[in-house]
Structure 1
């Protein structure tokens, strides 16, 4: 299976989907324990949730699971959140702190996975961002994520519904963060935070260079906003998702409309 799927559009927005894949190479699956093979930390159904929301959007989607290697982690292995519980480039535990391997990969295998999976995903993402920037003068990366709303190992209490990350405003123009926040905050049935527990992963921080016409923003959705239950079988709730899709479409349309005012071509 190819490690990355790309759908090209002609608009200024690129959707990154690093954590929706569920593919495990057989040699990797064989070394995982039963808990690891449950794939509990998948961004379940996120590609379905965003499908078709913005005509002209480009999508770049990793097909491999984050337990193979995490496409949203620094390839050097440096932690995104020093001093806090998190998972690494190749996770040794799940988000609950429970081991996922019978035989954990060594440094040589991690490097082989980086070359085979992590690098092709980011080569494709970088190429699409550059193609879009050449066409429009700017490119806006919207990185799509979701997570269970209650994970004591990672954070206290219950996560807000919308978790917007811009690394404290460094990864995009202020108008992008403001437009996204304002649309989320208009929803009376959802909660919102900006640069809270999730400030943007490696992807957002790596590609977000506003001075160069590259803007990046991360949206981490609480899975309670669109799943029937945050537990197996991780069922998609169409009724919840319909309302959420309308709000997400508004965000993406707003970002696309901003592109000409960010130094892009009119």
Structure 2
């Protein structure tokens, strides 16, 4: 299993998918406990949800599971949300704060996984953002995520359906933030928020360099919006997903149309 899959498109948008992968090497799987082997914190079916929504889009997908190493965390282990519960570069617990390892990884394990999985994913993402910027004068990284809507360990209450993160406007031009926020806020049947609990992970913050022509925005979707239930077997609900795909199609096409306007 290769650590990353890339589909190249000719448009200005790159979709990042760091958490849809479920591959765990056998040696690492043997170190997980029964709870960890459930792989509960996957962004279930997020690749299927976005598939085919926008022609000529580039996708960069991590095939490995976030329990191997989290592609959306600082490779040096710095916390995204100091003072709040979160998971680490190689998570020691699940999103409910429960242990996932029989044999937790040591520093050597983490370094090995960083080189074998985290680094190739970000090398591919960097290469694609550079290629797209060379084609269009800018690149828009749209980072695709999903999560259960109720996780008391991580946040209070019920998460809105559409959670937009730009690190309080720092990771992209205001036009990009406004386009996504306006369409999400006006989407019938969905709740949304801009820079709420999820302000953008390490990927969004690291690649969001508007002055260099790299714009990044994160979309964290509540899984209740497209799964039958937020419990195993994590069934993709085609009816829910079809409605949500219509909303996401509008967002991506509007972003695609915004890109050339930013170069005029």
TM-score with structure 2 setting the length: 0.99
The superposition leaves residues 24-45 of structure 1 with CA deviations (integer Å, 9 ceiling, x where unpaired) of: 0000000000000000000000
SS of 1:158 mapped into structure 2? coil
Residue of structure 1 equivalent to 2:89:
89
Long gaps (5+) in structure 1 = none
SS of 2:88 mapped into structure 1? coil
How many Å separate the matches in 2 of 1:184 and 1:84?
Answer: 26
Long gaps (5+) in structure 2 = none
CA RMSD of aligned residues (A): 0.6
Deviation at 1:210, TM superposition (A): 0.5
Residue of structure 2 equivalent to 1:116:
116
Residue of structure 1 equivalent to 2:151:
151
Deviation at 1:260, TM superposition (A): 1.2
Residue of structure 1 equivalent to 2:131:
131
Deviates more, 1:177-186 or 1:200-209: 177-186
Residue of structure 2 equivalent to 1:28:
28
The number of residue pairs the alignment matches comes to 264
Deviation at 1:171, TM superposition (A): 0.2
How many Å separate the matches in 2 of 1:166 and 1:258?
Answer: 17
TM-score with structure 1 setting the length: 0.98
Deviation at 1:124, TM superposition (A): 0.2
How many Å separate the matches in 2 of 1:185 and 1:200?
Answer: 18
Deviation at 1:185, TM superposition (A): 1.2
Deviation at 1:4, TM superposition (A): 0.1
Deviation at 1:261, TM superposition (A): 2.0
Residue of structure 2 equivalent to 1:65:
65
SS of 1:82 mapped into structure 2? coil
How many Å separate the matches in 2 of 1:187 and 1:140?
Answer: 22
Residue of structure 1 equivalent to 2:79:
79
Runs (4+) off by over 3 Å: none
